[in-house]
Amino acid sequence: MSLNYTILIGRLVRDPEHRLTSTGVPITRFTIAVDKIKRPGEEKQADFIRVTAWRRLAEICNQFLKKGKLVAVEGRLQVDHYESNGEQRESVEVIADNMQMLDRGENFPENANPGLDAGSAAPEAVSQSQFSV
């Protein structure tokens, strides 16, 4: 048996990049900085993890996430192998299934409830599985 599941908490390092595929499917990509465990005497360090959201979750991420916002992302790791300038390379990203905004801001009303339509209020937590694919 095997399992590919990850949960990450970090801050967006820049605003999300949103586009539609050639078939009209929404896709949003963003990068989060995830702090590494700091040992005494060491400087603070972070890993920068790329995240991709699809469909309705992509639209919500694009609408409500901004640089500096703290988010929790659940999903699976996707590893791609490719060749660049004759060298074998590897690319790792998280394909998001769920996203939760962890700090409040101007786009996060106090009366926000999970599951509300993104047009009416920012949901606290959204899941790809909550929406038809």
**pLDDT above 50 for 52:** yes
- What radius of gyration do the chain's Cα atoms show? 16
What pLDDT sits at residue 50? Answer: 96
Within 8 A by CB and 6+ apart from 63, the residues are 107, 118, 122
1 within a domain of the structure (yes/no): no
| Residue among 38, 59, 45 nearest 117 (CA) | 59
Of 44 and 8, the one with more pLDDT: 8
Q: What is the mean pLDDT of residues 99-111?
A: 67
Is 93 inside a domain boundary? yes
Determine the pLDDT at residue 38: 79
pLDDT at 105: 59
Mean predicted lDDT score pLDDT of the chain: 82
SS3 label, residue 74: strand
Express each pLDDT in 28-37 by its tens digit: 999 999 998 8
* The token pair that represents 77 in the structure block: 């790791």
Q: What average pLDDT does the segment 45-69 reach?
A: 94
In-domain check, residue 103:
yes
Q: What angle do CA 119, 30, 59 make, to 5 degrees?
A: 20
Q: How far is Cα 4 from Cα 23, in angstroms, rounded to an integer?
A: 28
Over residues 2-18, mean pLDDT: 94
Neighbour tally for 7: CB within 10 Å: 11
Any domain includes 56: yes
Which tops the pLDDT comparison, 129 or 40?
40
Query: Where do the H-state alpha helices sit in the chain?
Result: 55-64
Model confidence, pTM = 0.73
Whether residue 37 lies inside any domain: the answer is: yes
Tell me, what's the pLDDT at 40? 84
Instruction: Tell me how many domains the chain contains.
Output: 1
CATH code of the domain containing 18? 2.40.50.140
Q: Which domain holds residue 116?
A: 6-130
